Amino acid sequence: MTYDLFIGDRAFSSWSLRGWLMFEKFGLPVRTHLVGLYDGTMQADLAELAPARLVPVMRDADGVVVGDTLAMAETLAERHPEAGLWPADAAARALARWMVAEMHSGFGALRGDCPMQLLHRVEGFVPSEAVRADVARIEQLWETARSRHGQDGPWLFGAYSLADVFYAPVAARIAGYGLPVGGAAQAYVDLTLAEGAFRRWRALGLTKSYDPVPYEMDLPKGAWPGPTPRPARPVESGRPENDACPYSGGTVTHLLETEGRIFGFCNATCRDKTVNDPDAWPAFVALRDAAMRREK
């Protein structure tokens, strides 16, 4: 069964990030559709999905529509038990559900004062006591999960689970506003920002520009604190090493240059998402590395 997933702008929609990660990280087939969250078309874009009024929302092959990330998570876990969305251990699963529910309904100060944005790091942001309290609670939950159930991997419950899905936007907020956390929490934030699916989400989000920029603050901006992307830039001419787009297989129409090499893509989005983070895209990495091996 292939689902249709309707999402908002990747650089800002934290709830959409959660919805997308449920499919991307657990190998569930999906077609993604972008809704005009900041373009004024959201209600029209969601009209056929009534009673949905917010993103994300999913629709299955039978036309069943489910909105709200918590309802989506439980529906997908019920339908796809083999995918392992929740931890297998009963005690771990109970704690994971608790943490997800608390994330879904709580941390209002963090949400209100630190809207998710994946463009840059806001420098000089001073968190309120309420935000600090939210972050302290988040650190407590993360430490509890890791100490009790995190021995078999780097994520909150060892293996990646819905708990990591729901806390990915939290990690992005901590990073994007430079919120002070302890070493263990910072390591989890860094892990989240370096994870391939998160990097692909952000790289695609950066292909769209905004004027004005949502949630803009009158504070200095620094570099995004995730992994530094390999240098790449769009170019207008040159001889690409590939004859077909690594993503669609379509005819090459747009070019990028990276480390003195030129590669082609079937449209501007395919090119620009790769420019934004070349190492985040397995299909491009495979193409680049295979061409390099042939040269040797």
Q: Are residues 9 and 54 in the same domain?
A: yes
| Cα radius of gyration (the chain) | 20
Place 246 in a pLDDT band, splitting at 50, 70 and 90.
Answer: very high
CA dist., res. 247 & res. 203, Å (int):
15
Q: Are residues 192 and 241 in the same domain?
A: no
What is the DSSP-derived secondary structure letter of residue 159?
A: B
pLDDT tens profile 152-204: 999 999 999 999 999 999 999 999 999 999 999 999 999 999 999 999 999 99
The residue type at 101? A
Q: Are residues 187 and 123 in the same domain?
A: yes
Q: Are residues 171 and 238 in the same domain?
A: no
Alpha-carbon 43 to chain mean position: 23
| CATH code (residue 47) | 3.40.30.10
The residue among 20, 54, 83 that closes a domain is 83
Q: Look up the domain containing 167 and give its range.
A: 90-201
The residue among 44, 60, 83 that closes a domain is 83
142: in domain: yes
Q: Are residues 117 and 73 in the same domain?
A: no
Closest CA to 202 of 211, 193, 213: 193
Residues in a beta bridge with 30: 3
152: in domain: yes
Q: Are residues 94 and 145 in the same domain?
A: yes
Q: Are residues 104 and 196 in the same domain?
A: yes
219: in domain: no
In the chain, the number of structural domains is 3
What number of H helices and E strands is found in the chain?
11, 9
Q: How many residues make up the chain in this entry? A: 296
DSSP 3-state of 222: strand
The residue among 186, 201, 216 that closes a domain is 201
Q: Are residues 129 and 33 in the same domain?
A: no
Roughly what angle, to the nearest 10 degrees, separates helices 14-24 and 196-205? 130
pLDDT tens profile 54-97: 999 999 999 999 999 999 999 999 999 999 999 999 999 999 99
Q: Are residues 94 and 196 in the same domain?
A: yes
Instruction: Quote the pTM value.
Output: 0.97
Q: Are residues 95 and 184 in the same domain?
A: yes
